[in-house]
């Protein structure tokens, strides 16, 4: 049995964003965090609403979830996989993204 990784590195996500591969990019942070800084072309679904809003996601597309440091998005990826989605969590969250991919991005 092959076990798929649960996390994606910022570098691999950057490649996905540059490719033509269709996927959902889901921010599971709180609204106030999303207003401070967010990745492009994302859907805000705070973690506490994910169960009720999972129907908004296309089961045919890969899902990459992110949060501030990667803890909430890891939990979200686990929950989405248990619900039958192909989901990955951004390792280190948007904070690691800002440090390694886009240093001009606001950090908090």
Q: Which two tokens stand for residue 69?
A: 């440091």
Instruction: Return the CATH fold of 19-83.
Output: Oxidized Rhodanese; domain 1 (3.40.250)
pLDDT band at 108 (very low <50, low <70, confident <90, very high): very high
Whole-angstrom Cα Rg for the chain:
13
Q: What is the C-alpha separation between 28 and 25, in angstroms, rounded?
A: 10
Q: Express each pLDDT in 6-51 by its tens digit.
A: 999 999 999 999 998 899 999 999 999 999 999 999 999 999 999 9
> Two tokens at 81?
């996989």
Q: In this model, does residue 4 exceed pLDDT 80? A: no
List, for residues 62-88, the tens digit of each pLDDT value. 999 999 999 999 999 999 999 999 999
CB 89 within 8 A of CB 66: yes
pTM metric for this prediction: 0.94
Alpha-carbon distance values, 45 to 9, 14, 89, 103 (Å): 21, 21, 14, 25
């Amino acid at each position: 049995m092959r076990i798929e990784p649960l996390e994606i590195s910022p570098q691999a996500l950057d490649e996905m964003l540059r490719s033509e591969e269709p996927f959902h990019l889901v921010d599971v942070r709180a609204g106030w965090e999303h207003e401070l800084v967010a990745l492009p072309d994302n859907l805000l679904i705070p973690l506490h609403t994910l169960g009720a809003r999972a129907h908004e996601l296309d089961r045919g597309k890969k899902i990459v979830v992110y949060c501030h440091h990667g803890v909430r998005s890891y939990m979200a990826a686990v929950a989405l996989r248990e619900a039958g989605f192909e989901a990955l969590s951004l390792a280190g969250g948007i904070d690691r993204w800002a440090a390694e991919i886009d240093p001009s991005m606001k950090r908090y």
